Structure 1
């Protein structure tokens, strides 16, 4: 008899939840770790976090449990806090965070008696993250670690629905089965030669809102930006972003029968934003959200919406690893270190460089770019023949360039020079003449200063990546501003272009006809040629495309967009 027909599925789920709480609540202090003293304060905090969990406030529970897990020195509730934090993250629809936390737990406490439970939760998190093959592996490892309840195992496999394992996944599963005494009994439940049982009503959430019986006649583009920013300049940037978004929205609605509405939310109020996001998840018209004027408020949105169904597009945030909050998050503005890696790819693939040398100021992001560039070159097998740093205040780079000139092969190398100031550009160009036969410079950071380049470039060819707006795009933007009578406002700002392109991309995937979030997610994988810059998301969901410009003898031209190979 199918499990769900006899009422086993819902009853079992409730029993498992209650059992987990009982085990963790009554676990003795040394149940999962040895020689750890009882701490009254840790016990109180654990009970406090548990109250949030039992009330269904999973985000708050995860936060408090994780603080307890990270506390130093370790205490009698450390391992239990890891397990409960992972459970809470999973219940808060953040399976990727749950998985990362449990990996850390198993590294730190490989002998814990919670090991089997950790594998079980990892399996459920993998299932929630649409990775059924990984879920099966974790469930088997949980069995091996001592969590051996056949009915529970059968129920968990049933929850995965219809699964087809790749040859690699089948091999991994077979390898784990070989280590188990009950392998044959478990094998009968697994899709090792086809597919598992047909999908149950509870397995596999609908992707997006595709199961809705109502066909939306319009779309809602949610926009989460800070409402009020204390800094006047930052507030101006927020307004410029919104200005660009509204221009794109107005252009769309003027030419399309499928209308779009912009719903503005305050990313500076996390509690209210969370409520709005919960409501948007149930709205079939809401497919995508544009979020964050800065990396800080973008991170807030990612923490709330990570691994949920609503897609999140980050227009301007540059912090690395933001997309790791969830597979529904896409980052348009490539992080600094990723830009450096892309420039290394460009040197290798497009410039056919045989070697590179690096000249960088000894400060924050230019140095980070230099380090990332060197690392990527070594991964590509591209020799790095010289690396020199100079102090930010230096204008005479003869000593730094002299270090590069000592390498015989540096004279045939492409010189990579990340900068943080236009003053550095002139100094680099003057100093480059001291490295024999260096005639190609690859600029990192902002090299888009035509007057400086024309004054110092001479016969050196300079390639650089920039957010410069191509002339064609400038003409279109001026036309839109003229039509909307906005010429009296400030001109075309960089932030306005970010906002315009982000809204255009959102409308590209969700604004032409009724769609699902899963269909929109697939469409986001297409190459998008924005006014400001191209967008090409790869597996990390970070933009891997950029504008490349070339300057030779004072003439600057935009090359074809460069995409990750």
Structure 2
């Protein structure tokens, strides 16, 4: 045999030997394992996952490797997933990947592991989840107000949930109805059925008083965004008012007058049938006196027309004795009454400093108001030049809203942001009421919030008219 022929023979023999070595090892079929695998599948399909898992494990553990071994591994993993044993699924599929690296089920094992990891993450998120209850009326008259407030709440929750480090928040909603009984029933449902951890709402003082009873009994923090009636939170530990009460407004303006403006002789004028203005005036008077300044007079005017005749009802000499006049007003005609009062002082040739409440921002007589350095407390102010306000407006328009966000939108946002800042995680719920009371001043996009150890927000802006312009004083 020639040398070349011998080489060719060796090559052929080598190829034949390699082919023989490459023959796959036969995987046995074990009838008992086949039967038990079929029984396990039936248990899985009828939803008996505990039994199915035990049977798939027996198919794996009770026999040497066989034709159903890897399929049983994968089905055991699927069964564990259905049982919610996500940690076990992850460990099981990782072991499978190492033990059977060439299995045709590797892709399915990876898919199951990814599903289990995602489900485990969701479970962990749910364990951290904070449930925010929203209790607002949905009757035709109030639905637009509810929508505006809800838009702000929603944007605040979305901003919170964009922070992966903070506990996520979900919103649950109930129609507050229009009667005290309806609002109490709705709040009970929020707490007992939807597991609300805290609640924002309702809109008005009457409903808020009714809701406050339930919240206090249940020990659930409830924040009324608009109510100004002191009875809503008086004597309670879990009920808060984001909108300063009428008494607080009077008190804060008195402090500004005495401490901020250094006034020590003040007169007060309010309309006799304006109960809102009278409550502010009474609180103002009490606080001024407590601070050891003088209230030279407190005049209750008999009618709206009397604002144009201050010298007639009070007397020019009496008016001339005070450094400032506190003129609280309310109602839709308040700006007109404010201008009438200023014109009355114009005619008398007197220029005391005029102090007031938020309605003075709409006086529409900036030059005239500047002569009296009109200074007033204000619960709502938006500086549209702020970058964060511009971002907020863009986000609001992304909801499909074409109009400029109104007061309720901003209020819903600011109140919710403030509350969620006190809740970095679920553990903070245990001390939420204390955290609200002790929280530092919060400067929102439109409102300030500072409960200063109590149940009522005590933070306001102070504006004044100067040189024909309205400016922020404090």
TM range (shorter): 0.5 to 0.7
Deviations along 1:518-539, one digit per CA (max 9) or x if unpaired, are 3322321212222222111134
C-alpha displacement of 1:246: 0.9
Match of 2:448 among 534, 537, 542: 534
Deviations along 1:408-454, one digit per CA (max 9) or x if unpaired, are 8x43421101122110111121123356653311112411126x231
5+ residue gaps, structure 1: 1-212, 561-565
- What's the TM-score once normalised by structure 2's chain length? 0.65
Match of 1:246 among 154, 165, 183: 154
Deviations along 1:169-203, one digit per CA (max 9) or x if unpaired, are xxxxxxxxxxxxxxxxxxxxxxxxxxxxxxxxxxx
8 Å Cα contact 2:209-2:232 kept in structure 1: yes
- Residues in 2 aligned to 1:390 and 1:540: alpha-carbon distance in whole angstroms: 34
Match of 1:406 among 313, 317, 320: 317
8 Å Cα contact 1:401-1:434 kept in structure 2: no
5+ residue gaps, structure 2: 1-123
- Residues in 2 aligned to 1:379 and 1:454: alpha-carbon distance in whole angstroms: 33
Match of 1:548 among 452, 459, 462: 462
Aligned to 2:473: 559
1:260 and 2:169 are equivalent in the alignment:
yes
- Change over 3 Å in CA distance of 1:445–1:388 after alignment to 2: farther
C-alpha displacement of 1:307: 4.2
Match of 1:290 among 169, 179, 200: 200
Aligned to 2:29: none
Match of 2:254 among 316, 330, 344: 344
Aligned to 2:339: 426
8 Å Cα contact 1:453-1:551 kept in structure 2: no
Aligned to 1:385: 296
SS at 1:448 equivalent: helix
Match of 1:370 among 281, 295, 310: 281
Aligned to 1:415: 325
Q: CA RMSD in A?
A: 2.7
- Change over 3 Å in CA distance of 1:405–1:229 after alignment to 2: same
- Residues in 1 aligned to 2:405 and 2:126: alpha-carbon distance in whole angstroms: 38
Deviations along 1:331-386, one digit per CA (max 9) or x if unpaired, are 11011122112211211111111110112223221222222222322222221112
SS at 1:386 equivalent: strand
Aligned to 2:352: 439
C-alpha displacement of 1:548: 0.7
Aligned pairs for 1:281-320 (under 5 A) are 286-320=196-230
- Residues in 2 aligned to 1:476 and 1:235: alpha-carbon distance in whole angstroms: 28
8 Å Cα contact 2:442-2:450 kept in structure 1: yes
C-alpha displacement of 1:327: 0.5
Aligned to 1:505: 418
C-alpha displacement of 1:517: 2.3
Where in structure 1 do 4 or more consecutive aligned residues deviate above 6 Å? none
C-alpha displacement of 1:399: 4.2
Number of residue pairs the alignment of both structures matches: 338
C-alpha displacement of 1:328: 0.9
Match of 1:466 among 351, 365, 378: 378
- Change over 3 Å in CA distance of 1:274–1:371 after alignment to 2: same
Aligned to 1:490: 403
